[in-house]
């Protein structure tokens, strides 16, 4: 009996075998599907994953993404490749420059700081209302302007390098509260009623989403330097042309529309100019100069400091736009 018990005890002390075998690491050279190897990779691993992504796409999407990749590296040899967000190619230098997202109908190139970049050739045709990002959607049969895209990439690198340069800090005043670690410095200015208004990327005022004239006037008052006077002129011209105009601030931009008909116009502050967008711009005569074949019906005009505002032409566009079915978000 004693011997039998001893045997039972020895068996009980032995570890149980697992019902499933642990996975062995992949053999060198074995194929790994994009996204399975890493959620985030850099260097050669990222480049290999991007290679595999391009091969797996095939057709026009593979050709487009490969061409985009070529132009990016031609624009700046120091740009790095990364693999982020469960399978998105990312190109970076001193921060993200742009992504290369592949969808069924489109290759989307999202620039992390696109709203701060000059885009004279109008490549950006998506994510146009945000304060930070801008995107280029490329569909089958469309050809990317290589030189304009290269210039955009170089501008994005310059913006990243400028933003990453440490600024000299003055000594804090006695008794001043310390900022929390990692907190971003905002750019507050005084609003029309003395309240503080934060200026976002490109100097665009951060105004809470709201309907009516009051938030629009708060936005205009907070527009920096010469842009505020331009905002007042635009607002007065629109009201004079369309007395029953509806106003609101959405996505930190003033919107103008007709009740029950949608929005026909918006404007937005960027670093060096104010962009006035007509949502049905392709139906206006003459068609406003800004826009591309990929920006759908929207067309715009960029107004820089010193530009003469053609109020007669602007009033004509406003009158035409207000008579058309507007944009409904």
pLDDT in tens, 276-324: 999 999 999 999 998 876 678 899 999 999 999 999 999 999 999 999 9
Residue 131 sits in the same domain as residue 51: yes
Q: Is 235 helix (H, G, I), strand (E, B) or coil?
A: helix
> Is the residue at 130 inside a domain?
yes
Where a domain ends, among 128, 163, 198?
163
Residue 89 sits in the same domain as residue 155: yes
Higher pLDDT, 144 or 22: 144
Residue 160 reports pLDDT greater than 50: yes
Residue 144 sits in the same domain as residue 214: no
pLDDT of residue 202: 80
Per residue, the 3-state secondary structure of 66-86, as one string, reads HHHHHHHHHHCCCCEEEEECC
Residue 87 sits in the same domain as residue 209: no
The whole-chain average pLDDT of the chain stands at: 83
pLDDT of residue 200: 85
Task: Quickly list DSSP for 97-166.
Answer: EEE-EE-SS-EEEEETTGGGS--TT----BSTTSSS-EEEEE-TT----HHHHHHHHHHHHHHHHHHHSP
pLDDT of residue 196: 77
Q: Is 207 helix (H, G, I), strand (E, B) or coil?
A: coil
What tokens appear for 50 in the block?
């991007």
Residue 151 sits in the same domain as residue 217: no
Residue 52 sits in the same domain as residue 135: yes
> Is the residue at 152 inside a domain?
yes
The pLDDT of 68-72, averaged and rounded, is: 95
Query: Model's pTM, two decimal places?
Result: 0.48
> Is the residue at 280 inside a domain?
yes
**Backbone phi, psi, residue 227, to 5°:** -70, -30
pLDDT of residue 20: 42
Among 20-34, 61-75, 193-207, the range of highest mean pLDDT: 61-75
Residue numbers of the domain that contains 231: 188-322
Residue 233 sits in the same domain as residue 267: yes
Higher pLDDT, 80 or 2: 80
Higher pLDDT, 12 or 57: 57
pLDDT in tens, 193-247: 556 788 887 888 999 999 999 999 999 999 999 999 999 999 999 999 999 999 9
Specify the range with the lowest mean pLDDT, choosing from 15-24, 79-88, 89-98, 124-133. Answer: 15-24
> Is the residue at 268 inside a domain?
yes
Specify the range with the lowest mean pLDDT, choosing from 10-24, 150-164, 297-311. Answer: 10-24
Side by side, the strands of the sheet bearing 262-269 are 210-211, 246-250, 253-258, 262-269, 273-278, 299-304
Could you tell me whether strands 101-102 and 96-99 are parallel, antiparallel, or unpaired per DSSP bridges?
unpaired
Residue 150 sits in the same domain as residue 234: no
Higher pLDDT, 250 or 163: 250
Q: CATH number of the domain at 120, please.
A: 3.90.1150
Residue 293 sits in the same domain as residue 225: yes
pLDDT in tens, 71-118: 999 999 899 999 998 789 999 999 999 999 999 999 999 999 999 998
Residue 144 sits in the same domain as residue 208: no
pLDDT of residue 85: 80
> Is the residue at 101 inside a domain?
yes
Instruction: Report the percentage of the chain scoring pLDDT > 70.
Output: 78
> Is the residue at 153 inside a domain?
yes
**Residue 24: how many other CB atoms lie within 10 Å:** 6
> Is the residue at 245 inside a domain?
yes
Residue 192 sits in the same domain as residue 318: yes
Number of domains in the chain: 2
Residue 121 sits in the same domain as residue 217: no
How many angstroms from the chain centroid is the CA of residue 56? Answer: 26
Confidence of residue 131 (pLDDT cuts 50, 70, 90): confident
The pLDDT of 29-58, averaged and rounded, is: 76
The pLDDT of 56-84, averaged and rounded, is: 94
> Is the residue at 29 inside a domain?
no
């Amino acid at each position: 009996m004693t011997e039998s018990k001893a045997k039972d005890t020895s068996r009980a002390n032995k570890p149980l075998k697992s019902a499933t075998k642990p996975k062995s690491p992949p053999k060198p050279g074995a194929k790994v599907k994009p996204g399975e190897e890493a959620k985030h990779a850099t260097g050669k691993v990222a480049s290999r994953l991007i290679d595999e992504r391009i091969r797996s796409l095939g057709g026009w999407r593979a050709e487009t993404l490969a061409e985009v990749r070529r132009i990016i590296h031609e624009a700046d040899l120091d740009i790095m490749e990364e693999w982020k967000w469960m399978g998105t190619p990312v190109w970076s230098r001193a921060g993200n420059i742009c992504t290369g997202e592949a969808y069924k109908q489109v290759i989307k190139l999202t620039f992390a700081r696109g709203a701060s970049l000059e885009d004279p050739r109008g490549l950006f045709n998506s994510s146009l209302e945000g304060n930070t990002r801008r995107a280029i959607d490329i569909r089958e049969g469309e050809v990317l302007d290589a030189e304009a895209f290269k210039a955009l990439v170089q501008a994005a690198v310059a913006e990243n390098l400028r933003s990453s340069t440490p600024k000299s800090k003055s000594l804090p005043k006695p008794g001043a509260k310390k900022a929390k670690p990692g907190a971003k410095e905002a750019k507050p200015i005084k609003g029309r009623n003395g309240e503080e208004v934060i200026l976002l990327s490109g100097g665009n005022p951060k105004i809470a989403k709201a309907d009516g004239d009051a938030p629009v006037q708060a936005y205009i008052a907070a527009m920096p330097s010469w842009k505020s006077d331009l905002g007042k002129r635009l607002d007065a011209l629109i009201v004079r042309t369309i007395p029953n105009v509806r106003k609101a601030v959405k996505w930190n931009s003033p919107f103008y529309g007709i009740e029950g008909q949608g929005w026909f116009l918006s404007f937005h502050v960027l670093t060096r100019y104010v962009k006035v967008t007509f949502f049905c711009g392709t139906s206006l005569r003459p068609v406003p100069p800004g826009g591309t074949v990929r920006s759908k019906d929207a067309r715009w005009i960029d107004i820089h400091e010193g530009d003469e505002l053609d109020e007669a032409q602007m009033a004509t566009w406003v009158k035409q736009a207000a008579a058309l079915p507007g944009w409904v978000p």
